[in-house]
Amino acid sequence: MNVSISAAWRRSALWVAAAAVAIVILATRLELSFDLSAFFPQQTTLAHDVLIEQIRNGPGSRLMVMGISGAPADELAEASDQLKQALSVDPAFVTVLNGEFSEDTTQTPEPVNSYYLLMRDVDYSRSALQRTLQLRLQDLAFGGGSALLQLIARDPFLVTLDILERLSPVDMTGDMWFAADGSAVLMAETHAASIDIAAQADAVDTVRQALAALPATTPLKIDITGVGAFSVELRQTIRAEATKRSILAGAALILVLLVVFRNPRLLLLAALPIGTGFLAGLALVSLLFDTVHGITLAFGFTLLGIAVDYPLHLFSHAQHDSGRSAIRRIWPTMRLGVISTAIAYLALVFSGSQGLAQLGVFTAGGVVVAMLATRTWLPLFLDGRQAPPATESAAQQTPELRYLTAIVVLIAALFAIYRTVGAGLWDDNLSSLSPVPVERLSADRALRSATVTPDMRYQLVLHNSSLDALLRDSQAVDLLLADAVDDGLLENWQSVSQLLPSREDQERRQNAIPDQEILRSRLGEALVGTPFRADAFESFAANASLAKSLPPLIPADIAATPLRSWLDSHLLQLSGQWVALVSVVHPAAADLAERVGQWDVAVDFVDLQASSVDLMRDYRNGARKTILAAALIIIGLLWYVRGQFRQTLWIGLTVTSALAITVAVVTTLHSSLTVIHLVALLLVLGLGLDYALFLSRSESLPERRATDKGVLACATSTTLAFGILAGSSIPVLKFLGLTVAAGSAANFLIAWSGSRLQRRSAS
């Protein structure tokens, strides 16, 4: 006994040291991320590259949409104006809009303020100047005040108004934005990227504090949506969910252990492999990835429903024997089950999604370490003092594996799936991978609909390794699109060359600007017979002289200006290529696509909505192939180790039937499957293999009863843990929870009902 105690302490010291190493790794390496795009697939084509890049880092990801409610419309309008003014001067925001024009929105931002004469062709001839001044007199006759007079003095051709109108990100009708539910809507762009959660959280707090400081007579409420705001909400939700669900799942596990084994001491022992598995899995993810997604951390508590299977099997078989003797008997089966589960989850590494790859590494590493802790550590604390009844035979009992149960269940499940979904089994919308609840996405759409933002579904995509060559192509496309507008194929478009002309065009326009004295002379002649003062356009002449000497405009010059986000949405660098995006407004999609195909310029007409569906379809098909390969490897492994074709066939048929039942349940409740459900089905596969492997073993009657108790405890704890997860408000966790809970119950019922003992004599 002293030797046993000494061995237990030495082994405990080793495992505690290993846990300490994992904690040190986590303390130095763990960095959490709440990037909403982490579970999106990796890109495969240029269109997919563009789509994912815009979701992750595009200007749209920095937009914060706010809806103020809780008061009459006139009070909401006043609050909207006041909040806009308060946020416009805050350094956290680039721009703040609420639909109304204001003096601020008519100011000319850089680089338009300095480079406007290099962004458009201007005729500096005396006759052109005379016609232009007559037009400006007509404009002033209709009003406009000092602001318009100052603008005309520095830009009589109103080039800046043309540029800003083409660059406008929204339809500025002059009317304040109101949503269908009566909320006053504002849109703000943050300086911080959406993945900078700390900065986004500060921006959200700034908005709420600014609203609270308004002198409103009625308490106002505000709803803040957008990628950054959702990331902040997700961080808070994950923390709350992880705490709540872990407590509930832990309570369920305690209840199962007390009911089945009636030994509180086993609670502490069961926590050892679970805790070490969690630390090891998380440390492994921290080492292999730059950041750990919050969903991965929240997923950690589901190890309660997986890793607990190993100590439960050991506890059941050690009731009538020592722990070391019991683990030797069940070790071959346990090892096979763990290897199968690890193979299934390591397949996620090749899924094409960093988020899913993290879940795969975390789970595979966690279950392997939990199994090793169960194998080498726990047996030292179990002495199995309760002896089996003397009347029970130790003769081997061979299970009679019945196929009919699984076959009937499989046929019924397939029929149920067919009746429920028909041909629409899969949901290939990119939003199906979003961890944001559906109701929050709906709220975001409702608020955005009030801003009349342009539909970015259709875009033209150009790419080139040379920026200047790309800009020249973009200018050629501008001319072709102008013809398309005349032919009624679209209303308008936005392209990068409208803000950033090619170097060649900038130099040509610089050369077209007359010398300062010549321009002043022509202006003086054009002013004859007009009410303008002789020096009224001195600022225009000075601007022209400055523009003639400016260095060429480049993207870096725009990066530090308010127009950075506009440029970012129309010019990207991807994989060493410059990519230009041309946004088309209200196109006749089919006709415009046909016209684009006839152009000499290399340009692609892209439907981003169709591209997202294609991306998800390719992603899902790739994941299915990877998972199918993993399943075939597992079946081959089972056949190789067990060496019995009929037993392997029964195990495969049992697990397949349980998977079909699970799919029928999920599609009944969720209508269709997503890639997240596919991931959960991997875990269902691993659990089914574990149950079927143990229930198909040849063993004595006492051992068989211990097996039944262990498998029942495993199935109950897993079903409860993941059933608790199914109540999560985070879609990813909800899908995982429901799928695994249904699969665990189905696996146990089918395997247990299909396995019966056929007694043989000990002789």
Cα–Cα distance, 739 to 670 (Å, whole number): 10
> Per the structure block, which two tokens stand in for 224?
């803040």
What are the start-end ranges of the E strands in 440-591?
Answer: 458-464, 492-494, 571-574, 577-585
Supply the pLDDT for residue 762.
36
With 0-12 CB in 10 A as exposed, 13-18 as middle and 19+ as buried, what is 307?
buried
Beta strands 32-33 and 292-293: pairing type? parallel
Residue 604 pairs in a beta bridge with 461
Supply the pLDDT for residue 744.
92
160, 118 in Cβ contact below 8 A?
no
Longest dimension (CA), the chain: 126
Angle between helices 608-642 and 645-670 (to 10 degrees): 150
Interval 23-80: pLDDT, tens:
999 999 988 877 756 776 665 666 667 767 766 666 677 889 999 999 999 899 999 9
Spell out the domain ranges in the chain: 62-226+503-553
Q: How far is CA 8 from CA 15, 227, 329, 377, in A?
A: 11, 51, 20, 7
Beta strands 396-401 and 184-190: pairing type? unpaired
Residue ranges in the chain whose pLDDT is less than 70: 1-5, 36-37, 40-48, 51, 54-59, 101-107, 143-144, 169-174, 298-305, 384-398, 422-423, 430-433, 452-455, 757-763
Which phi and psi angles does 462 have, rounded to 5°?
Answer: -120, 150
In the β-sheet with 93-97, what is the strand arrangement from edge to edge?
A: 93-97, 184-190, 63-69, 221-225
Q: Go through the chain and tell me how many residues it has.
A: 763
> Per the structure block, which two tokens stand in for 329?
């008997």
30, 285 in Cβ contact below 8 A?
no
Q: With H, G, I as helix, E, B as strand and everything else as coil, classify residue 389.
A: coil
What are the start-end ranges of the E strands in 693-736?
Answer: 699-700
Q: How far is CA 298 from CA 35, 282, 435, 724, in A?
A: 14, 11, 12, 13
Q: How far is CA 94 from CA 59, 172, 445, 611, 636, in A?
A: 11, 17, 22, 30, 59
Buried b (16+ CB within 10 A) or exposed e, 272-294: bbbbbbbbbbbbbbbeebebbbb
Residue 226: which region, alpha, beta or left (left: phi > 0; alpha: psi -120 to 50)?
left
346, 368 in Cβ contact below 8 A?
no
Q: Cα 496 from chain centroid?
A: 28
* Amino acid, res. 1: M
Interval 689-707: pLDDT, tens:
888 888 888 777 888 888 8
Supply the pLDDT for residue 640.
81
> Per the structure block, which two tokens stand in for 704?
């068989």
Residue 579 pairs in a beta bridge with 463, 572
Supply the pLDDT for residue 763.
33
Buried b (16+ CB within 10 A) or exposed e, 350-379: bbbbbbbbbbbbbbbbbbbbbbbbbbebbb
